[in-house]
Structure 1
Amino acid sequence: MGFVAPMIVLFIAIVWIGVTVVGKNVNAKDLVFSYTALAAAFVMFSLNLWFSLKNEESVDVIQPHLTLTPNCVDVYSELPMKSSFIVFNREKLTSSLNLTRTSENAGIPQLTDDERAAFKKNLAEFLRVSVVGHLLSEYPDWNPDVKAFRGKKQVQFNNSEEGAGQNSYYSIAQLKNALKIGVDDFDISEGVGITNGLTLPPNTVATTSGDDLIFENPHVRIAIDFEVEDGTSFAVPSYIGSTLRLDYGEMNQGVINIQSNIRVVVSQKKQRSGSPDRLKYESWASQIIETVRAGFSPVLTQNA
């Protein structure tokens, strides 16, 4: 905890003053009274520091509906803002991750246990790479320059390390290395348009924990993890409101349906919970969640 060391130093200093100064002048009533007030203030400050500043954690789950055809994996969506990164890169990424169907029984791949584990891992990697590509395409700058005009607004994103100022900047090459994006025969930089990198809040580090994507700075930690279900179904999907409907009657038009989760865990750090900049970091975390939700949810809202 960042403030433990200073508190220990302060405690030692107060004790040292008590022993070397106050202890040798116990008849100096004003001095003793002032020292007692100092010690009491330290205790009150310590209690307030411990109980007032709290870690806060929130969890949001986006539930992509994956479909698998003989050509490619896709994210099923009835929304107009479906991730353009997926639309333009799904076939290449599917092929690079070896996710095309190789054997069928009513359209469902027949896999050994090891093959199924590899299949699930590659599906999760499909989502993982797609989320990074989607953020590069749709939210490359955490604090863009927004200018409002009558009836419209103009948004300008930073696109270089030189223009990042005090912000943290990751070029696409640096981001691929930091987040361990390494799919054979697939170059994420070719699928994100004119974006050159990701501009993040000051002192933000992009890294991984296992397969999780981590963005962390002194204020907040954002962890994004990916899950793919074990089961599959062969049917024509649709949604009534937020409820999934699978039509098994039109098997000749069916696709393999696979449910998945993208879980975003946002941890507001105790050391900065009272910071005047907290709202900016909360807004950044919320925007990441909403950007991923818009690109990967099948409908506007989903039933759990």
Structure 2
Amino acid sequence: MTTKALIDQIHKKKSFLCIGLDTDLDKIPEHLLQEEDPIFSFNKAIIDATHHLCVAYKPNIAFYEAYGIKGWMALEKTITYLNAEYPEIFTIADAKRGDIGNTSTRYAKAFFEDLNFDSITIAPYMGKDSVEPFLAFEDKHTILLALTSNVGAYDYQTKKIDGVELYKEVLETSRHYEGSENLMYVVGATKAEYLAEIRKIIPDSFLLVPGVGAQGGSLKEVCTYGMTPSVGLLVNSSRGIIYASKDKDFASAAQNKARELQTQMSEELSKIE
């Protein structure tokens, strides 16, 4: 998917919501456990109930790898369903991959060609030869982990090297990678106060912003410091939406939570339109 197509969807739906499909068999409604493929059944119901309120879905790959071949089959069915039924949706493989040379190329082929995701999250700390193989794929996007929402982010990402925070060095260096026009970046909503500084380095890039909802991030602050004239944001909510209910009304409960965020996003978008 092109960046323009993503921006068009944001304005059409008046939403920059990304829904994380972190599907956990210990948390989904019990009645679904009787299904042949409970993970896919859960995902399909969530997608059908919320697709008109969001512009992206982000399966966290660990939640599928944990169930072995059955998990991978459920992931494949999920992405195939999304691409067939809702091709306008931007898809993110939250895989946090990254390795050198041909290994990265193989990871890219797995997620971009075999599974046909639009994008993938990548850990940047092995440098450009671990990132550029992903950037070589046309109309596919690489989302670098820049400043994450977890507490441990302070262990390394904000440490200064020669007076410059490491996350800023990641941002600045990556701008010069071959294919950098296909880069996006992860910046946690719990680090919203950093967004103004981040926008000085990457003023136009899309940011994938997790941490709104269950992790306590503020949508208003994210928009205040991070929104650009072309929006430039994908704000993710996972648990706060998909686990809004553990009963048979789980899909409608998820829809209601997604609509709450979409309504807030529509108000923020009206400020730049």
Bigger helix share: 2
- Name which structure has the greater RCO, CA cutoff 8 Å, separation 6+: 1
Larger radius of gyration: 1
Greater strand fraction, Structure 1 or Structure 2: 1
Alignment TM-score, normalising by the size of structure 1: 0.24
TM-score by length of 2: 0.26
